[in-house]
């Protein structure tokens, strides 16, 4: 599956806090870096997302007295998993993994900066209605298929791929270049949901 001239490599949240040693480490998260660097060579377009929370963000367990990380709470927009403090704006943990070599990336979408709403997807906040602007960017530039890679399979990759399909973008998820957190079977559920949404799942391209 060779990328065409209007295809985009969407690199999701490959940041220090999601890699081993980070605040919300995804098991083996850094192992996606060489695969992504290799794939990027074949793409004319590359867009990155960056999880980018203010201190005290409402998705942090520390903002909810008595709540532990990896439990859930009910927010006005629905159920929300609570996380360890991570990807705080301007912190080293929020920086991209230093091994990521994507000098031609055209666009960085920051997300999760709204103190009251988390944002897994590259397209919408977790209320599933407040847009990040990525869809407008892609459409205005006439960009086409999206190849999704990065962290984490069961959260930000999953919701980005589902929303991309909902918006009508042809969507391919390259699983060898993704890693998951896996809370209570969430990787299997995420893979099923992406497939159900009409994304094409492949191991590699
Ligand atoms: C993510 C949990 C919290 C992700 C971001 O990138 O998948 N997961 N914030
Ligand atoms: Zn986050």
pLDDT value for 178: 98
Residue 59 alpha carbon, nearest atom of ligand 1: 3
Residue nearest to atom 2 of ligand 1 (CA): 155
Give tens-digit pLDDT for 15-73: 999 999 999 999 999 999 999 999 999 999 999 999 999 999 999 999 999 999 999 99
Structure confidence at residue 144 as a pLDDT band (50, 70, 90): confident
pLDDT value for 167: 98
Residue nearest to atom 6 of ligand 1 (CA): 156
**Residue 172 bridge partners (DSSP):** 147, 200
Read off the pLDDT of each residue in 188-203 and give the average, rounded to a whole number.
98
Q: What share of the chain has pLDDT > 70, as a percent? A: 100
pLDDT value for 105: 98
pLDDT value for 141: 97
Report the alpha-carbon distance of residue 11 to residue 4 in Å, rounded: 17
Distance 8 CA to ligand 1 centre (A): 21
Catalytic residue list: 13, 111, 156
Structure confidence at residue 1 as a pLDDT band (50, 70, 90): confident
Residue 157 alpha carbon, nearest atom of ligand 1: 7
Select from 17, 51, 119 the residue to mutate for testing ligand 1; criterion: most ligand atoms less than 8 Å from CB.
51
pLDDT value for 136: 98
Distance 110 CA to ligand 1 centre (A): 12
Give tens-digit pLDDT for 155-178: 999 999 999 999 999 999 999 999
Distance 27 CA to ligand 2 centre (A): 16
């Amino acid at each position: 599956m060779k990328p065409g001239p209007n295809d985009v490599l969407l690199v999701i949240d490959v940041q220090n806090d999601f890699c081993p040693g980070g605040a919300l480490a995804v098991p083996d998260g850094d192992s996606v870096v060489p695969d992504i660097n290799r794939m990027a060579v074949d793409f004319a377009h590359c867009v990155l997302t960056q999880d980018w929370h203010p201190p005290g963000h409402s998705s942090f367990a520390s903002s909810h007295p008595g709540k532990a990380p990896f439990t859930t709470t009910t927010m006005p927009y629905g159920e929300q998993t609570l996380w360890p403090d991570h990807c705080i704006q301007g912190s080293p943990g929020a920086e991209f993994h230093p091994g990521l070599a994507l000098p031609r990336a055209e666009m960085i979408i920051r997300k999760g900066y709204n103190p009251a709403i988390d944002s897994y997807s590259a397209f919408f906040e977790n209320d599933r209605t407040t847009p990040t602007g990525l869809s407008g960017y892609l459409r205005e530039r006439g960009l086409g298929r999206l190849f999704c890679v990065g962290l984490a399979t069961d959260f930000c990759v999953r919701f980005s791929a589902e929303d991309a399909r909902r918006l009508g973008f042809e969507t391919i998820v390259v699983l060898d270049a993704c890693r998951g957190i896996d809370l209570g079977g969430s990787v299997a559920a995420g893979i099923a949901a992406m497939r159900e949404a009409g994304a094409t799942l492949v191991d590699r391209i």
